[in-house]
A and B are shown apart, each in its own frame.
Chain A
């Protein structure tokens, strides 16, 4: 059974600071997704990582994938309050996405 673990689960950070969210998974997969969810809302696609070594950046967020280590990271640069949300990684295996527990990020002024 595929297991996906994120850490930390809760992250409170100051505006302007950098931080990294980690996503580990237990079996091989070449596709990994990052989603953002605001409270009571749907899942907004942030990144699709399709191969080992893939790196994608959008604004203050950068995601990477190391399939050998079964690890993806979501790096936040110079955080702003608008980034406050829950971030999920999801591993694509077979016909399903298996989600991590989510990282609830709060960016304080």
Chain B
């Protein structure tokens, strides 16, 4: 079963706008990661935020983590048509779970040119 729940399930925006995707999870974690998947392709790791971090930036990506609410958000600024993809959050509960990643159901982002 999926630990994470992402919302929205689908998001359609215009190029240049910002896109925000949210993720909620249920158990305590060591870190939370965001991945991107182009249709039918492999997943690409975007960013990892540790449980003791609150915010992290990487290029046009900004990730926040609120462990008290068990939630995270991914912000993509100044979106481009090439950002069109599915975005997944994945939680890592650490050694006790054998470091598996538990993925959410994903947000399908469409950026219209």
Asked if A and B are interacting partners, one says: no
Binding site for A on B (CB under 8 A): none
